[in-house]
Amino acid sequence: MTDAMDASEYDVVVLGAGPVGENVADRARAAGLTTAVVESELVGGECSYWACMPSKALLRPVIARAEARGVPGLSTAARGPLDTAAVLAHRDSFTSHWKDDGQVRWLDSIGARLYRGHGRLDGTKRVTVTGPGGDRRLLTARHAVAVCTGSRAVLPELPGLADAGVWTSREATSAPSAPGRLVVVGGGVVGVEMATAWRALGSEVTLLVRGGGLLPRMEPFAGELVARTLTEAGATVRTGVSVAEVRRAGAGGPVTVVLADGGRVEADEVLFATGRAPRTDDLGLGSVGLEPGSWLTVDDGCRVEGSDWLYAVGDVNHRALLTHQGKYQARIAGAAIAARARGERTTDSAWSAHTATADHAAVPQVVFTDPEVASVGLTLAEAESAGHRVRAVDYDLSGVAGASLYRDGYRGHARMVVDLDEEILRGVTFAGPAVGEMLHSATVAVVARVPVDRLWHAVPAYPTISEVWLRLLETYRDTRSGTE
């Protein structure tokens, strides 16, 4: 560091201008705290340009066509292929063509100061920012520094992979055209969503999964339904296989994926959707006694353990790697920072504005495949592993009047995991067309610990898919009375 380095002081310094960093800055500014935001890429972050928004823009036409194909009077008209160019153009509009002018204007509107460049911690409450031209500036924080730098895709160490030019989630959501043949490695959320999108946009898709099924962190029926629909759409789904090597034949040439059993799969592109790592490797963590490249452990106010000024919000704390959960944490962290700046005592009450509890056992998530999968809370296996005495209550969604009207051949399933001792729901999972919009009702039931007997008085409208709530409760009543 040189004495000539420009320096500025703020109440709060935020590293990362994705949705999480934006929300921390917004809450800090609303509380009257001066706030600086440091961003090395695009303001708006991963979600806006390479994840949530472009992926869902790719998937919405796919899902809409699938729904139309099941509706009498529309099915014939919806038999044709998607207009791939139009879908990709629509995707580009959702990313603002990878320009962040609008997001920058929003930051300006709340009064936050944006610094373009790479930010690194430089001791307690100090951040150095190296700008695009190499100029350096020192930012100091009176009250807090919030690390909101997110996560990045992880590639496994495989022979040939480093030189093969494979896709990660970023290339999969921003590709300018559909590859003729696409191999997707990984059966998690990114893998199945991108397999769904690119198959519908004309690619021959092969999905390679090391484990025994898709969506392994959800109820087994969810992955089974998605695998069935992908297969019917013409994708090849292979489970129980591992990749041993990847080779590309020259720049822009075809890729050979060599499997552990000696088999080979040829493709034009290969997407590895095999995990995430925190973007903390070049963040200066060593200057404050933390391990570079590590996930940052935090308390329920998102304050880094052992610190009274450093916060880690969103993916970097590894509590729940989802945009909506990160934004939730940001609201909590922003409120906690503001309260402490005013000298107020924060509380760890479960319903406190300064305490994040929803990312322990009530995390909602939607997988935008055909069919959609929506879940909140614990799966049956997770609840049992946690020591709860529970029962799974299942119902075939095709037996609900609203589902049968939604489309011919509606295929779906619902499960609620009931705590038999407390008579509350530990988790709920839906798999079927349009179930994502039902998830919030399940989230409220799980978060608020609504007693099962009270849920009888939350009457679902007829004929809607949400009538499955009544059917689940009836099924539970029947099984409960049969064991009493």
* Tokens found for residue 142: 């009176």
Q: Are 36 and 169 in contact (CB under 8 A)?
A: no
- Cross-strand pairs, 253: none
How far apart are alpha carbons 420 and 418 in whole angstroms? 6
pLDDT at 481: 65
Q: Are 311 and 149 in contact (CB under 8 A)?
A: no
Looking at the domain covering 161-275, what would its CATH class be?
Answer: alpha beta
pLDDT at 1: 36
> Residues of CATH 3.50.50.60 domain(s) within the chain?
6-44+100-152+278-358, 161-275
pLDDT at 25: 98
pLDDT at 359: 80
- Does residue 202 register a pLDDT over 50? yes
Rounded to an integer, the average pLDDT of 382-409 is 95
pLDDT at 93: 97
Check residues 347 and 58 and name the one with the higher pLDDT: 58
Q: What is the pLDDT of residues 300-336, one digit of tens each?
A: 999 999 999 999 999 999 999 999 999 999 999 999 9
How far apart are alpha carbons 453 and 388 in whole angstroms? 19
Q: Sign of dihedral through CA atoms 393, 397, 401, 402?
A: positive
Q: Are 365 and 350 in contact (CB under 8 A)?
A: no
- Reported as half-sphere exposure (CB side, CA atoms, 13 A), residue 150 has a value of 26
How far apart are alpha carbons 139 and 334 in whole angstroms? 19
Question: Exposed, middle or buried by CB within 10 Å (0-12, 13-18, 19+), for 72?
Answer: exposed
* Mean of pLDDT over the chain: 95
How far apart are alpha carbons 479 and 220 in whole angstroms? 22
Neighbouring residues of 312: CB distance < 8 A, sequence distance ≥ 6: 146, 147, 148, 296, 298, 302, 304
How far apart are alpha carbons 407 and 403 in whole angstroms? 7
pLDDT interval class at 2 (50, 70, 90): very low
Q: Are 427 and 376 in contact (CB under 8 A)?
A: yes
pLDDT at 357: 78
Domain 371-483, architecture per CATH: 2-Layer Sandwich (3.30)
> Residues of CATH 3.30.390.30 domain(s) within the chain?
371-483
**pTM over cut 0.75:** yes
Cβ neighbours around 224 below 10 Å, total: 15
Of the listed ranges 95-109, 296-310, 350-364, 417-431, the one predicted with least confidence: 350-364
Of the listed ranges 167-171, 340-344, 400-404, 446-450, the one predicted with least confidence: 340-344
How far apart are alpha carbons 84 and 162 in whole angstroms? 30
How far apart are alpha carbons 442 and 416 in whole angstroms? 9
pLDDT at 293: 97
- Does residue 459 register a pLDDT over 90? yes
pLDDT at 117: 98
Per DSSP, 167 falls in state B
Check residues 260 and 6 and name the one with the higher pLDDT: 260
Helix pair 189-200, 52-68: axis angle to 10 deg: 60
Domain 6-44+100-152+278-358, architecture per CATH: 3-Layer(bba) Sandwich (3.50)
Rounded to an integer, the average pLDDT of 17-41 is 97
Q: What is the pLDDT of residues 352-372, one digit of tens each?
A: 677 777 888 899 999 999 999
pLDDT interval class at 347 (50, 70, 90): low
Q: Are 184 and 157 in contact (CB under 8 A)?
A: no
Radius of gyration of the chain (CA): 24
pLDDT at 3: 44
- Does residue 135 register a pLDDT over 90? yes
How far apart are alpha carbons 162 and 252 in whole angstroms? 15
- Cross-strand pairs, 237: 207
Q: Sign of dihedral through CA atoms 368, 372, 376, 382?
A: negative
Q: Are 412 and 398 in contact (CB under 8 A)?
A: yes
